[in-house]
Amino acid sequence: MAKKVEGYLKLQVPAASATPSPPIGPALGQRQINIMEFCKAFNAKTADLEKGMPCPTIITVYQDKSFSFEVKTAPASYYLKKAAKVKSGSNHPGREMTATVTMDQCREIGEAKMKDLSANDIEAAGLIIAGSARSMGFNVEGK
């Protein structure tokens, strides 16, 4: 028989550096989940990723206080800022452009995020990422 789900918890945790400190500790503590068990499992699962990369994580909490979790790919904005070599996007997107990315870079990022996007092919994924780049105040060059 399947375990009964008590709820879901969404956190954005830095890869390979989960600790019991806030925001992880209090969020898991409220649900009475073993915090150290989660931190060890998460750090082991994300050990191959770049340290500190933000990883959206969905934690499924069961009634017997056990859990399972799924780690998604980093947000598109993280990859775009890395590709453009800037710290942040524009404060006034559409009026003020802060950086430039190429369509090839957008396709590359789209390929990396393919499992989390609602795109059928790499070209469509690249267009989704290009839209995110424009909304951050980046120029997108190329076709």
- Using left for φ > 0, alpha for ψ between -120 and 50, and beta otherwise, residue 128 falls in alpha
Domains of the chain as residue ranges with CATH = 5-71 (3.30.1550.10), 76-141 (1.10.10.250)
Specify the pLDDT at position 139: 94
Average pLDDT over residues 75-98: 92
| Digit-coded pLDDT (tens) for 11-65 | 999 999 999 998 899 999 999 999 999 999 999 999 999 999 999 999 999 999 9
| Digit-coded pLDDT (tens) for 117-143 | 999 999 999 999 999 999 999 999 987
Which of 14, 20, 46, 45 minimizes the C-alpha distance to 34? 20
Specify the pLDDT at position 111: 95
Q: 0.75 exceeded by the pTM?
A: yes
